[in-house]
Structure 1
Amino acid sequence: MTEKPRRFDPSASSLAGEVDPAVMEELLSVRGSIDNIDATLVYLLAERFKATQRVGHLKAEHKLPPADPDREAAQITRLRALAEEANLDPAFAEKFLNFIISEVIRHHQDISQNHVARDA
């Protein structure tokens, strides 16, 4: 039997009862903002992956390689600059984008293989 996923409890904290209630209230408020940002990130990533899926299909239809190293390098340079402007660690931004790029390439490889198999 599979376990039912638990509903998200925004007030869940191992600090409850150990921290002054006013501090806990402020902590929960800031965490609420973080939760909203996280939700936005998930939906933005979903939209990004929808767009990259379209790119993957275009590449497969036109027999283009799944990876585009020049494009990826340009994206990393751009994202590092944006991170600096936003006071975010550019190395973190690069690691984050590299993870996304590796997933996109994997998806593009899958799309390409399925396209070839379909045409065979």
Structure 2
Amino acid sequence: MTKQPPNTATDADPSVRAELERLRESIDNIDAAVVHMLAERFKCTQQVGRLKAEHRLPPADPAREARQIARLRQLAESARLDPAFAEKLLNFIIAEVIRHHETIARS
């Protein structure tokens, strides 16, 4: 009779469960750091949005965004992270920043 693979992490060998837990704790810590870093980033971009609104500058800055995307792609490559993924993430963040800037400009 062939041994079936474990169905859940709780069915795994204790040493495997311990390593899985250790890795998951690291992931949880990294996720927390990412959230805190994004919060700090958005605090800065809110200030940018207020400054732009005060001086009637447009919410979006396509040239700056293009430079940031190119920069992030290079950083991703050097970190061995998929540059396309990094670009998608930054585009998502930029869209949210622009939305915030538009809201600030309307208020």
Does TM, scored on the shorter chain, surpass 0.5?
Answer: yes
The letter for the 1-side match of 2:44 is A
Match of 1:20 in 2: 13
Q: How far has the Cα of 1:20 moved from its partner?
A: 1.1
3-state SS of paired residue (2:10): coil
Q: How far has the Cα of 1:85 moved from its partner?
A: 0.3
The runs of 5 or more residues in structure 2 that have no matched partner are 1-6
**TM-score after normalising by structure 2:** 0.92
**TM-score after normalising by structure 1:** 0.82
Q: Which of 60, 70, 74 in structure 2 is aligned with 1:81?
A: 74
The letter for the 1-side match of 2:65 is E
Per-residue deviation, residues 55-107 of structure 1 (Å, max 9, x unmatched): 00000000000000000000000000000000000000000000000000000
Q: How far has the Cα of 1:108 moved from its partner?
A: 0.1
3-state SS of paired residue (2:11): coil
Matched residues in 2 for 1:32 and 1:110: separation?
Answer: 37
Match of 1:11 in 2: none
Q: How far has the Cα of 1:21 moved from its partner?
A: 1.2
Match of 1:70 in 2: 63
Matches within 5 A, 1:1-120: 15-114=8-107
The letter for the 2-side match of 1:107 is H
RMSD: 1.0
| Equivalent residues, number | 101
3-state SS of paired residue (1:91): helix
Runs of 4+ in 1 over 6 A off after TM superposition: none
The runs of 5 or more residues in structure 1 that have no matched partner are 1-13, 115-120
Q: How far has the Cα of 1:27 moved from its partner?
A: 0.5
Percent identity of equivalent pairs: 67
Matched residues in 1 for 2:43 and 2:16: separation?
Answer: 41
